[in-house]
Structure 1
Amino acid sequence: MTAGSSILVVTAAALIDRDGAVLMQQRPVGKALAGLWEFPGGKVEPGETPEAALVRELAEELDIAVDPAALRPIAFATHPADGRNLLLLLYMIRAWRGEPRAIEATALRWAAPAVLRTLPMPPADAPLIGAIERVI
C-alpha cells in the first residue's frame, strides 16, 4: 500500500455448502470487472463494522440472512484499485437462512475449491483461494 493513500475496506463471504462447494457470483455488465467471478460481499460503510457490512451485503445481494456469530474470518488480501488501496476481508460461512439468489449479480454458481482456480476472478479475490482450501 502507498503511504497516505486511502483504504477501501470490503468484506466478502466464502459461503460453503455441505459438499464443500463455495458460492461465487458473477459481476454484472456495467460494473468494473464485469463478467469476473467473485466472493459475495461489499463495501463497509462509515460507522459500520465489517461483520455488520457483510450481513447487510449478503441480504441485499443474495436475499439470505446470516447470524453475525456464524462469520469466521479466514483471510485478507490487498490490491490497488481506483487510486485507493482495497483491503478485502474474507469470512467463511457454513450456516445461513434462505436460498441464495442473484439479485445484483449476473449469475451464481457453486464450485469446488479446485474449480475456483479455473474461474476468472478480480485480482483481490484470487489470492484467497488457498485460504479456502485450507479450511475446507
Structure 2
Amino acid sequence: MRIVVGVAVVRDGKVLAAYRAGPDGGWEFPGGKVEPGETEEQAAVREIREELDLEIKVGASLGPAVGIDERHRLHVYLASIVAGEPVLREHAELRWFARDELDETTWLVPDRPFVRELLHQL
C-alpha cells in the first residue's frame, strides 16, 4: 500500500485547493506519492515545492489515512507557507477557500473526510 500525502495549506483562515480536470475531476488537496526513504512530511514539502513553488512548514495530521484505490491511501496534513506564492503548474485551477466555501461535495471523494475535519479546525 502506497501513501499519498495531501497538504491543506492554510493562510489567513483560508485553505488552498487544486482542481483536477477531467471526467473524474474535482477539488483536492495538492500533494503526491511518498517516495522510498522519505517521511510523509518530507514528501509533503517536496511535492508542494514541485507543484506550487511554495516552501511550507508541515503541521498536524487531519486524521487517519483513507483509501484512494486498492493500492493507495491518502493522508492529509495541515501546513503553513514559509515562502513564496502559489504557482499553477499541474492543475487546471488553484483557489483559496474560506471556511464557509468548503462544500465537501465538490471535492474528490478521498479528500472529503479531511475537508470535514478541516471545518472543525478553521
Per the TM alignment, residue 80 of structure 1 is displaced from its structure 2 partner at its CA by: 4.5
How many residues are treated as equivalent by the alignment? Answer: 122
Please state which structure has a larger fraction of its residues in helix. 2
Name the one with the larger strand percent.
2
- Out of 82, 85, 101, the residue aligned to residue 115 of structure 1 is 101
Instruction: Provide closer, same or farther for how the CA distance between residues 112 and 74 of structure 1 changes in structure 2, counting only shifts above 3 A.
Output: same
Closer, same or farther in 2 for the Cα pair 1:90/1:118, shift >3 Å?
closer
- TM-score, structure 1 as length reference: 0.79
Structure 2 CA distance for partners of 1:125 and 1:80, relative to 1, 3 Å: closer
Instruction: Write the distance in 1 (CA, Å) between the matches of 2:116 and 2:60.
Output: 16
Shift of 1:76: 3.0
Q: Which stretches of structure 1, 4 residues or longer, exceed 3 Å deviation after superposition?
A: none
Structure 2: gaps of 5 or more residues: none
Query: What is the TM-score of this pair, normalised by structure 2?
Result: 0.88
C-alpha RMSD of matched pairs (Å): 1.9
Calculate percent identity across the aligned residue pairs: 36
Larger radius of gyration between Structure 1 and Structure 2: 1
What does residue 44 of structure 2 align with?
Answer: 54
- SS of 1:124's partner is helix
